[in-house]
Structure 1
């Protein structure tokens, strides 16, 4: 069995009058993330980690923010397409470990729903997905509540 590790990172700016989507679920908040798609920073970091592990470039290569077909797209669709791409290469997801950096809203209450939604989309067990929430202790753009960032590491297995 061959294993591959991938790392992903993404960041989006918080803006008024946008819905906040994280981990495939809508979270009530006064601001949302700006982006060409629904700007789900968690899913975007996860897609980059999956694509990187399979040596398939990155999310911008497969789903460019200049393409009209991806305007306001649900990032769960991008994740499903990403998982299809890696499975066509013979890989299965071993596990995913994701960290989201945000001062507000508090994300811990939403983590079980995020894990459930991601497991459903990727057709894996919830126990194979770890999601953690942290702050930057009021430092930097995240601390000033200007944006949210996410980091993801995945393990792929090729049998």
Structure 2
């Protein structure tokens, strides 16, 4: 049992339940997961837990600061542990998701704060484009990228696909 989860819940006047622990464990085990993927993992141990319980629990865990979500394109958000801090790079073509250090957006974060008064949470960002594997492949559809653009090289860390 996660004693930090139990303590956090008790401070808020909430009970520790097996379902809450199972959902948190599933997020930790999966790394990045949609609510449906979390539900499938939880149901392997507790078949009676339904998707509504998983969604409610994920919302609670996010309110408690234990998990965070990111929208990686169309469809359901993806959840990860709160300390799992990085950018998500989503490929238009293959749908793959890679990770990159959040620090890549440090200059953007400084400018948005200085010029707009907006504080960017760069660990909650998904950038879409074309991954290195797909970049050399011909695209039958209209390419939406600007061929004249000179993108800055970025060191990426392969993430969950």
**Normalising by structure 1, what TM-score?**
0.26
Greater strand fraction, Structure 1 or Structure 2: 1
**Normalising by structure 2, what TM-score?**
0.25
The structure whose Rg is larger is 2
Greater helix fraction, Structure 1 or Structure 2: 2
User: Structure with the greater relative contact order (CA < 8 A, sep ≥ 6): 1 or 2?
Assistant: 1
